[in-house]
Amino acid sequence: MRLTNSMMSKNYLKNLNSSLENLNEANTRVTAQRKYMKISEDPATALKAMKVRKNLSRIEVYKENLSDAQAIFDQYESTISNINDIATEAVSQVLQGTTGTSNETVRKTVATTLRGYQETILAAANTKYGDDYIFGGESVGNTPFKLNGTGELLYNGQNVNTGTFTDEYRFVDIGVGLTVGTDGEIVPKSAFNVSNSGSTLLGTGVDTNGITNNLYNLLGEIATKLENNDIDDIQLYSDKLEAKADDIRLQYVSIGEKTNFISYFTERLDAERINATTKQNELESMDIEEGIIIFGEQELAYNACLQMGTKILQPSLIDFLR
């Protein structure tokens, strides 16, 4: 078969263009520091990398959930710390107002102080984090504590002394295997509960003596007795207040358990992210030294191709005219 100059030129230009494409592809990979630019170039590795990326996205979601949970409990800790201080101070004030040396004036002064504590506690119990009420339980979008027309305290619409209250849950997925039971409800041990119940915080119902278990109401009842100089059975109320102050203190201390749990899982997710990122780099990232060598080889091939062209391509009439 006879090779004409035209055939040689076309074949040369085809090879030259192919060499240029290889050089450009090597340049693109080195610049992007990727082993491949298209899934079709390495389907098996790309599939593995996609699984790793999916795992990384999952880890980021879990970390964000934990970060939000930590912020909620930080606000919870700050608020309950204030309530704890108020409860402790209230105990001291009641003792001062019920001693044998206190008179009616002192008692009324203490009563006024307790009324002030009530307002502070009510405001604290309605604290918000973002748009959510910290102590709203499952109903974080509505103000948890309100006073009705007769001044009775309500929690999520129910009287705290006479209402029926159950455990409240608001779960977030933190990567421990979220499971939904046959009843359509999330299995508690498979997720993290970020709900903070206001009914648990301040207390509900009354005891066998008919004394309220709610801190807000208890302060109000003691204030009323002191205002009326009615201290015959004040010791029962004083003892109840001390017990409630102890309960608030225990709730305050128990926050550490939840924050430690969050810290543990955050550290675990950080370790998982590092491992996943390392695996992703192994599957997708190009070794920069190897990439430079490949680019250098393609550049050398392209330059050699250009030099060969000066011998293959025949001079044209324009070249002679020059």
In the prediction, which pLDDT does 18 show?
A: 74
Of residues 42 and 171, which shows the higher confidence score?
171
In the prediction, which pLDDT does 313 show?
A: 63
Same-domain pairing of 79 and 117: yes
Using an 8 Å Cβ cutoff, are 5 and 314 in contact? yes
Whether 28 is in a domain gets the answer: no
- What is the rounded average pLDDT for all residues in the chain? 84
SS3 149: coil
Q: Which of 96-110, 185-199, 237-251 is predicted most confidently?
A: 237-251
- Distance of alpha carbon 318 from alpha carbon 322, whole angstroms: 6
Whether 272 is in a domain gets the answer: yes
- Distance of alpha carbon 138 from alpha carbon 167, whole angstroms: 9
Same-domain pairing of 176 and 293: no
CATH code of the domain covering residue 103: 1.20.1330.10
Same-domain pairing of 101 and 247: yes
Query: What is the widest separation between alpha-carbon atoms in the chain?
Result: 128
In the prediction, which pLDDT does 31 show?
A: 65
Mean pLDDT, to the nearest integer, of 28-51? 75
Same-domain pairing of 157 and 300: no
Same-domain pairing of 231 and 295: no
Whether 92 is in a domain gets the answer: yes
- Distance of alpha carbon 35 from alpha carbon 281, whole angstroms: 10
Domain total for the chain? 2
- Distance of alpha carbon 215 from alpha carbon 36, whole angstroms: 65
Whether 14 is in a domain gets the answer: no
In the prediction, which pLDDT does 288 show?
A: 65
Note if the pTM is more than 0.85.
no
Count Cα atoms within 13 angstroms, Cβ side, for 70. Answer: 15
Count of Cβ atoms closer than 10 Å to residue 142 Cβ: 11
Using an 8 Å Cβ cutoff, are 237 and 111 in contact? no
Mean pLDDT, to the nearest integer, of 57-74? 91
What is the domain extent for residue 100?
A: 52-281
pLDDT of 282 > 70? The answer is yes
In the prediction, which pLDDT does 124 show?
A: 95
Residue type, 263: S
**What digits encode the pLDDT tens for the residues 256-281?**
888 898 999 899 999 999 998 888 77
Same-domain pairing of 115 and 132: yes
In the prediction, which pLDDT does 11 show?
A: 74
pLDDT of 91 > 60? The answer is yes
Whether 43 is in a domain gets the answer: no
Same-domain pairing of 270 and 291: no
**What digits encode the pLDDT tens for the residues 130-172?**
889 999 998 888 999 999 999 999 999 999 999 999 888 888 8
Which among 39, 103, 13 is positioned nearest to 306, based on CA atoms?
13
Whether 32 is in a domain gets the answer: no
Same-domain pairing of 73 and 179: yes
Mean pLDDT, to the nearest integer, of 75-93? 93
Same-domain pairing of 166 and 213: yes
Whether 144 is in a domain gets the answer: yes
Least confidently predicted of 20-24, 146-150, 227-231: 20-24
pLDDT of 322 > 60? The answer is no
Same-domain pairing of 101 and 168: yes
Same-domain pairing of 204 and 98: yes
- Distance of alpha carbon 120 from alpha carbon 101, whole angstroms: 28
Whether 20 is in a domain gets the answer: no
Same-domain pairing of 197 and 293: no
- Distance of alpha carbon 266 from alpha carbon 61, whole angstroms: 12
